[in-house]
């Protein structure tokens, strides 16, 4: 008793040392690790990346806030404060945290009741994610498979794109609801399409798609990754440095080369800031027409500038002149509300892994960072936020050096919301809709269909189910249906593991082998019993057939499965079937012998079943059960017992040896193992 208590204390001490030392705390606050190493080169790289991402964050923040039904400034606030918190706690330099289209779509139905639900959702999601991180429950996310995630994001992209049809074409009717509901409403009101908004929206989409496919070239002139990919701003930086070093040269070629590099760098700036450019173009067009008294486009409208109202999130709100307390607000969220934190952390970790460059991603730290970003940002009237794939890709392509890039991005957005809020009034809604729809094109991944088709039809069915439920019933129900179908698929695989039956011949001995898998759960007990009976029937169809139950791969088996296997073996023995239990682990053998002592003579260990069967079938004519008797009697053999040792060695060596009458008469082996005495050993003379 005292020993167990002492061991427990040692484990507690090791755990305390692991989590309570200074290095452990520093890992949980990554800024304390990278900030002391910060230098001027990092500063310039982070500044360029931050400004580049900030120019994209402004229009996307406004667009995603309007997608959720929130005031446009909320999207800008959500691009500022979560990013600042992530810069302190985030472990991945490339990830940029802010509002995303998927989260905006998830909270839209709650915001329709009151904007307060968005701020409370941010706080509760952050607390829930923090709890998962503190308790090291990140492994729970492993139960959400790639087909479910892909199906969910595809359904979300389709629903979000459909919701933007109203703004793109400026039709009447609502843009809320599921993908199918939104399409039905759109086509019912298709006669109300506005020509100029439609033309501007289509022009925005075409411009973004063309700019997205422009290749960004490095200083050497070789083609880099397209604008949608992940080439580095470091190439631009090296070009700039090379241009400076070549500045002293007076040769025409050097000047031409510098001009070429400058043009390529300017082109890279245009491509990577394409979202901001199309917004600026639409804004300038709308403003210019307004100066002449024309207003052909639906505009964003007034945006409240300045800083948000800081304070605790709303734990009560008013809906239809009725006050809802905290419990009633939780009831409005319901079980579907868990989809928001789940999607937030799944997105962030998936993005971090995608841009980690092979490095290990600390999922627990990502949970703590995203959780803290949402929980603290809720104090500044922010909507739920997580890592954004498009902005993270742009951040990576811009050559960001540290999480400080998020601080520069936040600074630019903060300046815009405080100084340029009135200017955003003239941003056309069709332009924002075009930006969102192009962003959704990069999320939809139909290439996975072929991969799933050739690898697993059941996974393809899960993917399709997730999409169908998501677009017809709701995104939350889609991910729930996909996860449930995946769980059923896993349970079915556990209940019906692959049990391979192989027929082979060793010498003149016909054998049937039933190979057990690495794990057998209680759900597969009846399946294993049926397979064993079927294999025995196969072996019994041959004269003197032998059934070998091969357990070389079996590492885990529930007691119910082993009990069923033992019962079937006893049943088959009574039916005169010959069975060999090959290479069972000691723990499984001991349990089977405990459950069914009568089969203890059936267990055999050895490197090769072929050699084992061949060694006896070639020279000895007795029922095969005697083989295992020899193995169990081995412990009682003596060096002078020639026949016993010859039999034993013959079993595994496969060498040719001929027994004589002298061997048989002088053997103490048969005397020490009476059950073998009744078997006839055929004499082989030289």
The pLDDT tens digits of the residues spanning 347-380 come to 888 888 878 776 788 888 999 999 999 999 999 9
Please, are residues 383 and 126 in contact by the beta-carbon 8 Å criterion?
Answer: no
- Domain definitions of the chain by residue range: 38-175+192-210+277-314+337-444, 446-495, 497-605, 610-686
- Predicted local confidence at residue 23, as pLDDT: 67
Q: Is 499 helix (H, G, I), strand (E, B) or coil?
A: coil
User: Which homologous superfamily is 497-605 in?
Assistant: STAS domain (3.30.750.24)
> Looking at residue 43, what is its pLDDT?
92
In angstroms, the CA 667 to CA 661 distance is 10
pLDDT of residue 202: 96
In terms of Cα–Cα distance, which of 168, 166, 111, 108 is closest to 476?
108
Residue spans of the chain under pLDDT 70: 1-24, 216-256, 358, 506-509, 540-545, 606-686
Given this model, what pLDDT does residue 399 score? 84
Give the number of other CB atoms < 10 A from CB of residue 239.
Answer: 23
pTM above 0.85, yes or no: no
Question: What pLDDT was estimated at residue 608?
Answer: 64
CA distances, 144 to each of 147, 361, 462, 480, 514 (Å)? 8, 18, 11, 10, 33
Phi then psi for 216, rounded to 5 degrees? -100, 120
The answer for residues whose C-beta is within 8 angstroms of residue 413's C-beta and 6 or more apart is 54, 57, 58, 61, 76, 79, 80
Helix (H) and strand (E) counts for the chain?
32, 13
Residue 685 φ then ψ, to 5°: -85, 155
Q: How many other β-carbons are positioned within 10 Å of the β-carbon of residue 12?
A: 10
C-alpha of 229 from chain center: 21
pLDDT of residue 217: 55
Q: For residues 396 and 96, what is the distance between their CA atoms, to the nearest angstrom?
A: 10
pLDDT at 320: 87
């Amino acid at each position: 008793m005292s020993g167990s208590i002492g061991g427990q204390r040692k484990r507690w001490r090791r755990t305390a040392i692991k989590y309570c030392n200074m290095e452990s705390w520093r890992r949980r606050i990554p800024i304390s690790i990278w900030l002391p190493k910060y230098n001027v080169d990092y500063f310039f790289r982070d500044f360029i990346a931050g400004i580049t991402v900030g120019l994209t964050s402004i229009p996307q923040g406004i667009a995603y806030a309007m997608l959720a039904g929130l005031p446009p400034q909320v999207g800008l606030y959500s691009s500022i404060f979560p990013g600042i918190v992530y810069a302190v706690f985030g472990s991945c330099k490339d990830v940029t945290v802010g509002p995303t289209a998927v989260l905006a779509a998830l909270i839209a139905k709650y915001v329709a009741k009151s904007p307060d639900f968005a701020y409370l959702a941010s706080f509760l999601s952050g607390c829930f994610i923090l709890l998962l991180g503190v308790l090291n429950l990140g492994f729970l996310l492993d139960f959400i498979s790639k087909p479910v995630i892909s199906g969910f994001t595809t359904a979300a992209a389709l629903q979000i794109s459909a919701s933007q049809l109203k703004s793109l074409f400026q039709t009447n009717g609502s843009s809320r609801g599921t993908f199918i509901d939104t399409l039905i409403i759109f086509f019912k009101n298709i006669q109300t399409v506005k020509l100029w908004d439609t033309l501007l929206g289509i022009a925005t989409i075409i411009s973004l798609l063309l700019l997205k496919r422009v290749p960004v070239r490095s200083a050497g002139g070789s083609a880099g990754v397209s604008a949608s990919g992940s080439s580095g701003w470091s190439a631009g930086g090296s070009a700039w440095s090379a241009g400076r070093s070549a500045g002293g040269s007076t040769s025409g070629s050097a000047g031409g080369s510098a001009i070429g590099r400058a043009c390529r760098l300017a082109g890279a700036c245009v491509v990577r800031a394409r979202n901001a450019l199309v917004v600026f173009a639409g804004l300038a067009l709308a403003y210019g027409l307004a100066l002449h008294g024309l207003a052909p486009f639906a505009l964003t409208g007034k945006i409240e500038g300045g800083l948000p109202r800081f304070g605790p999130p709303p734990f009560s709100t008013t809906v239809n002149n009725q006050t809802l307390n905290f419990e009633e607000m939780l009831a409005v969220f319901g079980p579907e509300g868990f989809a928001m934190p789940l999607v937030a952390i799944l997105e962030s970790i998936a993005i971090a892994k995608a841009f980690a460059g092979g490095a290990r991603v600390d999922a627990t730290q990502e949970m703590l960072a995203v959780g803290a970003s949402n929980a603290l940002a809720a104090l500044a009237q922010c909507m739920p936020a997580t890592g954004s794939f498009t902005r993270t890709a742009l951040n990576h392509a811009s050559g960001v050096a540290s999480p400080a890039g998020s601080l520069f991005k936040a600074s630019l957005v903060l300046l815009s919301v405080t100084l340029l809020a009135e200017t955003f009034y003239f941003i056309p809604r069709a332009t924002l809709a075009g930006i969102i729809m192009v962003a959704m094109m990069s999320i939809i991944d139909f290439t996975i269909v072929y991969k799933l088709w050739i690898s697993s039809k059941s996974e393809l069915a899960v993917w399709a189910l997730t999409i169908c439920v998501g677009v017809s019933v709701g995104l939350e129900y889609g991910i729930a249906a996909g996860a449930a179908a995946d769980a059923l698929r896993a349970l079915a695989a556990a209940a019906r593991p692959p049990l391979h039956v192989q027929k082979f011949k060793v010498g003149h001995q016909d054998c049937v082998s039933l190979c057990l898998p690495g794990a057998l759960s209680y759900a597969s007990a009846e399946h294993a019993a049926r397979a064993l009976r079927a294999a025995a029937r196969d072996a019994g169809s041959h004269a003197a057939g032998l059934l070998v139950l091969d357990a070389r791969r079996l590492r885990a088996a529930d007691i119910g499965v082993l009990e069923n296997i033992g019962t079937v073996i006893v049943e088959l023995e009574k039916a005169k079937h010959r069975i060999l239990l090959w290479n069972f682990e000691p723990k499984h053998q001991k349990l089977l012998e405990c459950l069914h002592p009568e089969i203890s003579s059936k267990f055999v260990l050895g490197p090769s079943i072929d050699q084992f069967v061949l060694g006896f079938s070639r020279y000895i004519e007795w029922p095969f059960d005697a083989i295992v008797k020899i193995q169990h009697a081995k412990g009682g053999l003596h060096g002078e017992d020639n026949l016993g040792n010859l039999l034993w060695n013959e079993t595994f060596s496969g060498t040719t040896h001929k027994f004589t009458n002298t061997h048989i008469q002088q053997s103490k082996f048969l005397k020490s193992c009476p059950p073998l005495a009744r078997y006839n050993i055929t004499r082989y003379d030289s």
